């Protein structure tokens, strides 16, 4: 009898030890998946990554951005204010400490991805009260195709936005349950941060907040002090936007104006609505969710959907629960409203099925799947059989996805991440050192349909700043130093290297070009010819490299040593 009592007492402790052991293993695995080969996978380096990184480097070294503006609230960058402060300011201490290294630039995004998955596990616990379900949901969230590629690059503030949204949601629920004004203030702060994290987070933060208010209106009326503390905190965080509205409105609106649906200079409202309605259903289609996803290889691997296929029966069961209990459970009402509104901003942009512009949707869909899993677990025969089959399929599907991401996808996506030109620039800067000059021919940018201006703007200059490790003070005062990097004009003033392409673009006639900050972008299909640019007579061909894009094998980058 005493032995039986001892065994019964030991069981909860043993179960707890097993749970925390598994949780530790999954956390270590998630961390490894987020940081393994992060400097080279994804390959290359996007211009947005270079821009975020160099502005963070400028802030860390000088307290000003690349234009010399001290501690700006929004960053001008490519004159489109597409880079938001949370991303750059959280990156600043990392690049300030470790320098302009690709792994250092991408590390904050990966850490936010891990924090978001941990927060999501607690959010599932709030709704389902099953710790094993919460643990597995958190791990699934950490490797979900919708978010995993974004967590390994520093293109935009996707992972910080998702973490802020989950934490604001979680703290708001706890604040209402415990009647805690302190937690409500913290929730309001986190719910407002997306305004500073991602351009489309501005309208979506307000929309999701309105949905939360509608879903919990009765609770908020009874616990009005908590609601008032939340509103006060949210409003206080948004107050710094007021002077920007009057003095630099473009900082808030320029990016959205650049990416929203444009049908004409003065489009008709009916046409805008028609285009919106044609895009909105895409984000609920099985093609987007389970089979095809975003076809932009910077956002998605191009294989499968934004969610795993094994989640489909769980999502269906979850949708049934939302519909069945929508009247009695405010949490379910909020999830349902969130599913309705999450693609609104994305549907106002011309790209179809853009996963980044509706990234908050991953939280609503996966939470719906977790609710569905809880529902199936309660059905002891058929429900658990479906759940077991889904879990077995999930192991194989997740493994296949990760194998594809770290394998074939790295080859498929090289062109999207401009990997070849990045390797060429990186190798050239490493070879010239600090005392020689890197000459870059205008033909180098022909594969990107661009003829650069003297300062390499509007875009590629930022790669030169990053890989050339240009001192921020030097650039802020006098631009790119000409003894370090120079647009090749046929003359050599200092020994170094010349980077050129074996093909060039025929200069277009007027009307076929789009002027951009001194450069010329050629839309459509320009005419390419063999590069007739003279090479210095004393130049020695050192190396050739492949070119990004669907060009013949004879089209190559050439690196010459010049004296």
Q: Name the pLDDT band for 448 (thresholds 50, 70, 90).
A: confident
66-104 burial: b if 16+ Cβ within 10 Å, else e: beebeebebbbbbeebbbbbbbbbbbbebbeeeebebeb
How does pLDDT run across 235-273, given as a tens digit for each residue?
A: 999 998 888 777 776 666 666 666 665 544 555 677 778
Phi first, then psi, for residue 42 (nearest 5°) are -75, 155
List Cα–Cα distances, 529 to 351, 446, 533, in angstroms: 32, 10, 11
Task: Please give the average per-residue pLDDT across 418-436, as a whole number.
Answer: 91
How does pLDDT run across 454-481, given as a tens digit for each residue?
A: 888 888 899 999 999 999 999 999 999 9
Give residue 459's pLDDT.
Answer: 85
pLDDT of 221 above 50: yes
- In which element (H, E) is residue 521 found? strand 519-521
Query: Who's near 203: CB < 8 A, 6+ residues apart?
Result: 256, 344, 345
Give residue 335's pLDDT.
Answer: 97
Q: How far apart are CA 544 and CA 529, in angstroms?
A: 18
How does pLDDT run across 343-367, given as a tens digit for each residue?
A: 998 998 888 899 999 999 999 999 9
Task: Name the residue ranges covered by the structural domains of the chain.
Answer: 2-260+268-412, 419-562
Give residue 510's pLDDT.
Answer: 52
Centroid of chain to Cα 486: 32
pLDDT of 525 above 70: no
pLDDT of 230 above 80: yes
Q: Name the pLDDT band for 290 (thresholds 50, 70, 90).
A: very high
Q: Name the pLDDT band for 433 (thresholds 50, 70, 90).
A: confident
Task: Please give the average per-residue pLDDT across 164-181, as a whole number.
Answer: 96
For 253, the 3-state DSSP assignment is helix
Partners of residue 70 on adjacent β-strands: 64
Give residue 458's pLDDT.
Answer: 81
Q: How far apart are CA 395 and CA 372, in angstroms?
A: 18
pLDDT of 514 above 50: no
Query: For the whole model, what pTM was predicted?
Result: 0.91
Strands 528-530 and 485-487: unpaired
Q: How far apart are CA 45 and CA 352, in angstroms?
A: 24
Q: How far apart are CA 293 and CA 287, in angstroms?
A: 6
Verify cis geometry, omega within 30 degrees of 0, for the bond prior to 42. yes
- In which element (H, E) is residue 485 found? strand 485-487
Give residue 7's pLDDT.
Answer: 46
């Amino acid at each position: 009898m005493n032995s039986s009592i001892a065994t019964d007492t030991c069981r909860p402790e043993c179960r707890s030890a097993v749970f925390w052991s598994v949780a530790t293993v999954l956390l270590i695995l998630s961390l490894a998946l987020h940081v393994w080969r992060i400097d080279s996978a994804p390959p290359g380096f996007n211009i947005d990554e270079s821009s975020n990184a160099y502005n963070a480097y400028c802030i860390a070294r000088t307290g000003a951005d690349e234009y010399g503006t001290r501690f700006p609230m929004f960053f001008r960058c490519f004159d489109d204010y597409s880079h938001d402060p949370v991303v750059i300011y959280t990156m600043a201490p990392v690049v300030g400490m470790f320098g302009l290294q690709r792994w250092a630039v991408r590390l904050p995004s990966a850490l936010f991805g891990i924090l978001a998955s941990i927060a999501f596990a607690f959010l599932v616990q709030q709704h389902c009260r099953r710790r094993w379900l919460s643990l597995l949901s958190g791990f699934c969230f950490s490797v979900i195709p919708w978010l995993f590629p974004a967590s390994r690059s520093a293109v935009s503030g996707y992972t910080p936005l998702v973490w802020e949204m989950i934490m604001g949601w979680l703290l708001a629920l706890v604040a209402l349950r415990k009647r805690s004004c302190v937690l409500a203030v913290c929730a309001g702060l986190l719910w407002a941060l997306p305004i500073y994290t991602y351009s489309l987070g501005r309208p979506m933060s307000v929309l999701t907040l309105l949905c939360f208010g509608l879903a919990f209106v009765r609770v908020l009326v009874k616990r009005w002090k908590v609601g008032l503390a939340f509103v006060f905190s949210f409003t206080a965080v948004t107050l710094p936007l007021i002077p920007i509205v009057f003095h630099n409105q473009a900082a808030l609106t320029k990016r959205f104006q650049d990416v929203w649906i444009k049908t004409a200079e003065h489009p008709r409202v009916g046409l805008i609505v028609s285009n919106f309605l044609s895009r909105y259903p895409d984000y609920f289609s099985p093609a987007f969710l389970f089979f095809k996803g975003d076809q932009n290889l910077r956002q998605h691997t191009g294989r499968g959907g934004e969610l795993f296929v094994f989640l489909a029966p769980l999502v269906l069961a979850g949708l049934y629960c939302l519909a069945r209990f929508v009247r009695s459970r405010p949490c379910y009402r909020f999830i349902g409203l969130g599913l309705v509104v999450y693609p609104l901003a994305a549907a106002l942009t011309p790209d179809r099925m853009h996963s980044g512009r509706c990234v908050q949707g991953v939280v609503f869909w996966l939470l719906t799947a977790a609710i569905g899993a809880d529902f199936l677990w309660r059905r002891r025969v058929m429900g658990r059989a479906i759940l077991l089959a889904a879990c077995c399929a999930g192991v194989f599907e997740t493994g296949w996805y990760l194998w594809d991401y770290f394998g074939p996808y790295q080859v498929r996506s090289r062109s999207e991440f401009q990997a070849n030109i990045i390797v060429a620039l990186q190798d050239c800067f490493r070879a010239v050192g600090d005392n020689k000059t890197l000459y870059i021919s205008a033909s180098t940018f022909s594969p990107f349909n661009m003829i650069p201006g003297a300062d390499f703007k509007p875009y590629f200059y930022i790669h030169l700043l990053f890989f050339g490790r240009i001192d921020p003070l030097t650039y802020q005062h006098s631009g790119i130093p000409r003894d370090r990097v120079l647009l090749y004009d046929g003359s050599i003033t200092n020994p170094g290297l010349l980077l050129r392409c074996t093909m060039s673009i025929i200069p277009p006639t007027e009307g076929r070009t789009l002027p951009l900050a001194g450069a010329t972008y050629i839309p459509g299909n320009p005419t390419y010819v063999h590069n007739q640019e003279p090479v210095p007579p004393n130049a020695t061909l050192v190396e050739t490299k492949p070119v990004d894009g669907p060009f013949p094998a004879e089209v190559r980058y050439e690196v010459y040593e010049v004296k």
